[in-house]
Amino acid sequence: MKAYRFLTADDTSEFCHKVTKALADGWELYGDPTYAHDASNGVMRCGQAVVKDVSGDYSPDLKLGQL
């Protein structure tokens, strides 16, 4: 099964660390990163999709961050 996650965070080093940790845990980048202004909070936000091949079947109970 291919698992999918979309990582987001404010445009700070926290976002880069979140993506780097996912890569270190075996996730792979999927598509281009996104960058948008969050007008309600007055900050820029980043996003990056990642995928990972995992064993087993899909269940909505999966804890994607623990795969």
62 in Cβ contact with 17 (< 8 Å): no
CA angle 26, 49, 7 (to 5 degrees): 85
9 in Cβ contact with 15 (< 8 Å): yes
> What digits encode the pLDDT tens for the residues 8-47?
999 999 999 999 999 999 999 999 999 999 999 999 999 9
User: Quick check: 53 pLDDT over 90?
Assistant: yes
CATH (one of 3.40.50, 3.30.43, 3.30.310, 3.30.70) for 2-55: 3.30.70
Burial of 9 (0-12, 13-18, 19+ CB in 10 A): middle
Kindly report the length of the chain.
67
pLDDT (0 to 100) of residue 9:
95
pLDDT (0 to 100) of residue 26:
96
